Amino acid sequence: MASVNKAILIGNLGRDPELRYTPSGAAVCTFSIATTEKWRDKQTNEMKESTNWHNIVFWGKQAELAKQYLTKGSPVYIEGRIQTRSWEDNGVKKYITEIVGQRMQFLGKRGAESTGEHDAPPPPEADAAPPLTEEDDDLPF
């Protein structure tokens, strides 16, 4: 039987992304995003909310793009797979569950719409296809 491991999240960064490089030179970027669910309590009619934090990891060019364009508070769309890792720290086994990013879409700068401020041109989609050229005009679709 086939299986699926896919996470889709839209949230805001809780901290600035951290970029580092492995000894072999691969870029890896980590950050966390918050997703918030809001609902009205049917018994008290009060608005309630619950926030969940998600650890995100991107590798390679996407890691470098995340570091370049995202900052604390930035809204972002993330697609990836869920992974749980473990390691030992002073004899204590520790675990972390994270989303290994496969695709990201920058959704803009938080508050930019209301102030009209834009520090940089809009960032590209992290896995966008290259622009079409004149040679592509004769495609049958």
Query: Does any domain span residue 130?
Result: no
* Residue 117 DSSP SS3: coil
Q: Phi-psi region for residue 134, left (φ > 0), alpha (ψ -120 to 50) or beta?
A: alpha
Phi, psi of 63 (to 5 degrees): -60, -45
Percent of the chain with pLDDT over 90: 74
pLDDT band at 116 (very low <50, low <70, confident <90, very high): very low
Structural domain boundaries, residue 16: 7-113
The token pair at 4 is 């699926």
Domain total of the chain:
1
In a domain, residue 107? The reply is yes
Q: Is residue 85 part of a domain?
A: yes
Least confident of 4-18, 46-60, 63-77, 97-111: 97-111
Give domain status of residue 64, yes or no. Answer: yes
pTM: 0.72
42: domain CATH number is 2.40.50.140
pLDDT in tens, 20-32: 999 999 999 999 9
Confidence class for position 120, pLDDT limits 50, 70, 90: very low
C-alpha–C-alpha distance, residues 93 and 47, integer Å: 39
pLDDT in tens, 75-107: 999 999 999 999 999 999 999 999 999 999 999
Residue 77 lies in a domain: yes
Residue with tokens 């002073």: 90
Examine residue 140 and state whether it is found in any structural domain, yes or no: no
127 SS3 class: coil
